[in-house]
Structure 1
Amino acid sequence: MEEKAALRRTVHEYIKQMSDRPHLDRLIHKRLFDTDLWKESQIIAVTSSLPLEIDTSPIIHEAFLEGKTICVPKVKGQGLTFHIIHSVEDLETSVMNILEPTTPPMNEPIDLCLVPGRVFDRAGYRIGWGGGYYDRFLETFSGTTIALAYNTQLVSHVPTEPHDLPVQWIVTEKEMIQCSPYSL
């Protein structure tokens, strides 16, 4: 869909021009860590961030400090498998320079999934990288979903397709958004 591609490009350019990203990342991390959703979750899924995404390495580090279990996705065919990691040494560079786990797939239920994306609206709909991996995963996921985003990644409306699924929450440097209609 051309509208999605145009939104991806526009937001990508905004992020490239941001000079205060490390500061904004810290604000987003703090807002996430202060939530009951974070505090009450034991098994947390998080993607290793790409260069123009909110840095997830401090999230992984904080989870280890708090004794939480971190699992990281790995692309397998058209889907994702999640793997528990015990340190960043359990990750290796894969396709598109994404860090993926080298550990075996896990079977435990995930409490909290941090869902990546490029563009978001307040209803929780997102535009990712275009592969649909997270939409397929979210079809059967019953835990809590949170997206981390810079305020500049929020738009009034994300064009959707029937298979698109919203996240329940979005955390930005300015606010925590409870999305609808998906959130209970």
Structure 2
Amino acid sequence: MWLFNRKSQRKDEFEFEETLDSETVEVDSDSNEDCYFQISEIITDHNQTVKELLENYFEDPRLLLEEFQGDCDEWNEDSDILHEELLDDYWLILLLTLEKESFARRIYWRDNIEAVMKNLKQLKQLKEISLDERLSHCNHLSLVEFFECISKELQKMGIIIGTFELDDENVLIFTIVDRRIERFNKLINTIEKSWKQIS
């Protein structure tokens, strides 16, 4: 289990071990936009619907905002802030699209294990797995220990679980198959370097 972190500060409860490589790597990508598409393909197993949605949202982020406003009252309260952020943030567009299409699920740092399990079961990549049976021995642990436990169990099936930070209150949990982790790490490193150049 690891946490990919764009911000510098985290809540203690979500400070998991990071396994991202920090070495210099070459990625066959002409732009960060292409990196985002490749990351999406790795997480979604080349889901064509997500790819088409990202193409539309990158071109006009207001489309994504409108869909979230229609689906959830909670988003309406923050629509002005989100609108400003989405206009020039492809990374946020990627994360929200993965969440909207259930390839990532939002968990809050105050969530209990039951809430996290509910979100895990809604991930498209885990829907065919009997999580209650396979992870029952993980249920009586602290949240950090719970993530370590489920991470070990899913790794036995060739699945890596990780989180992307959204803000100080919550993260997105997602899964990828372990054979794609090296490629995924290279893409993430490329994006991180571009952020450092901008900041």
**Fold match, TM over 0.5?**
no
Instruction: For CA contacts below 8 A with separation 6 or more, give which structure has more relative contact order.
Output: 2
Greater share of helix: 2
What is the TM-score with the length of structure 2 in the denominator?
0.26
Structure showing greater radius of gyration is 2
Q: TM-score, normalised by structure 1?
A: 0.27
**Bigger strand fraction:** 1
